[in-house]
């Protein structure tokens, strides 16, 4: 006889070292987005991988709830076609840096339908923690007003491998360098090795779209859209 389904919160509380308020916050928020209670398959509760995935999903949902509360974004039911692939992928992520990006993506998706594009999920799913840290560093150090592209970044070998993967994901673009002013006229660019000729890297147009939904910064954080359905 197949085991009866139980609540996700009960499963996570039984197997994970998470505080009860975090578990219930994550589960309640996910249910408000799904529009129905979440159940865990009773026969899979003893499965270590299944439990690990549930725990990761709850962590991401709880953090997304915090982000929504900070920005005044009310929870609402959003498309199952976005949520199911989202939670499936987020369940396989336990890196804190990546979990923060998944939580930001979920908060952006609640804020507006435009952030529910499947390519955002696919791209984030293809990144590891190193890729996320390198991309955040590139975005943080970008100086668009000086039009200085990234070139020969002063990174170690693993980080250079991340740059190659970010290029393949379309988050970075390979560009031809433009002549630049002497470094003594520029802000502190110690992170970069700047050259006036050769191949350079810059954030792509898609890279900036991706940044706005998974790495919102002050002044460009997601806001509840006027047409968003605010039903819970």
Q: Is residue 43 part of a domain?
A: yes
Among 203, 85, 190, residue whose Cα is nearest residue 150: 203
Q: Up-side HSE of residue 95: CA atoms within 13 Å toward CB? A: 14
**DSSP line for 142-194:** --GGGT--B-S-S--HHHHHHHHHHHHTTSEEEEEPPP---GGGSS--TT---
Residue 146 and residue 191 in one domain: yes
Residue 136 and residue 186 in one domain: yes
Confidence of residue 22 (pLDDT cuts 50, 70, 90): confident
Q: Is residue 60 part of a domain?
A: yes
Confidence of residue 111 (pLDDT cuts 50, 70, 90): very high
pLDDT at position 13:
57
Q: What is the mean pLDDT of residues 113-120?
A: 96
CA distances from 29 to 13, 65, 82, 210 (A): 16, 6, 15, 23
pLDDT digits (tens, 9 = 90+) for 51-82: 788 889 999 999 999 999 999 999 999 999 99
pLDDT at position 177:
47
pLDDT digits (tens, 9 = 90+) for 171-202: 988 765 444 444 444 444 333 333 334 457 78
Give the span between the Cα atoms of 40 and 201, in whole angstroms: 45
Give the span between the Cα atoms of 41 and 2, in whole angstroms: 9
Q: In 10 A of CB 3, how many CB atoms?
A: 12
pLDDT digits (tens, 9 = 90+) for 77-107: 999 999 999 999 999 999 999 999 999 999 9
Among 129, 207, 114, residue whose Cα is nearest residue 169: 207
pLDDT at position 82:
95
Residue 35 and residue 117 in one domain: yes
Residue 121 and residue 48 in one domain: yes
Give the span between the Cα atoms of 1 and 82, in whole angstroms: 33
Residue 46 and residue 107 in one domain: yes
Domain region containing 147 = 129-205
Give the span between the Cα atoms of 106 and 161, in whole angstroms: 27
Q: Is residue 120 part of a domain?
A: yes
Residue 109 and residue 151 in one domain: no
Q: Is residue 210 part of a domain?
A: no
Residue 76 and residue 145 in one domain: no
Under DSSP, the state recorded for 57 is: H
Residue 97 and residue 137 in one domain: no
Residue 113 and residue 161 in one domain: no
pTM, to two decimals: 0.72
pLDDT digits (tens, 9 = 90+) for 122-163: 999 999 999 999 899 888 877 554 444 454 455 566 777 888
Residue 86 and residue 177 in one domain: no
Q: Is residue 152 part of a domain?
A: yes
Question: Quick check: 220 and 212 in contact, CB under 8 A?
Answer: yes
Q: Is residue 211 part of a domain?
A: no
Give the span between the Cα atoms of 84 and 109, in whole angstroms: 13
Q: Is residue 228 part of a domain?
A: no
């Amino acid at each position: 006889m197949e085991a009866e389904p139980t609540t996700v919160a009960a499963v996570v509380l039984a197997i994970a070292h998470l505080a009860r308020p975090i578990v219930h916050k994550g589960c309640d928020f996910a249910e408000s987005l799904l529009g129905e209670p979440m159940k865990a398959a009773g026969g899979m509760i003893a499965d270590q991988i299944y439990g690990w995935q549930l725990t990761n999903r709850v962590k991401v949902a709880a953090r997304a709830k915090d982000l929504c509360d900070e920005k005044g974004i009310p929870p609402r039911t959003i498309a199952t076609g976005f949520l199911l692939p989202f939670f499936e992928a987020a369940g396989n992520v336990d890196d804190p840096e990546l979990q923060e990006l998944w939580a930001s993506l979920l908060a952006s998706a609640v804020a507006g339908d435009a952030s529910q594009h499947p390519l955002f999920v696919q791209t984030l799913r293809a990144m590891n923690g190193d890729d996320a840290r390198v991309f955040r560093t590139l975005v943080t150090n970008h100086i668009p007003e000086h039009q200085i592209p990234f070139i020969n970044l002063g990174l170690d070998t693993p980080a250079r491998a991340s740059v190659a993967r970010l290029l393949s994901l379309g988050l970075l673009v390979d560009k031809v360098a433009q002549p630049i002013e002497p470094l003594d006229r520029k802000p502190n660019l110690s992170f970069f090795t700047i050259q006036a000729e050769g191949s350079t890297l810059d954030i792509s147009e898609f890279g900036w779209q991706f940044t706005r939904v998974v790495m919102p910064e002050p002044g460009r954080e997601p806001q509840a859209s006027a047409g968003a359905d605010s039903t819970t």
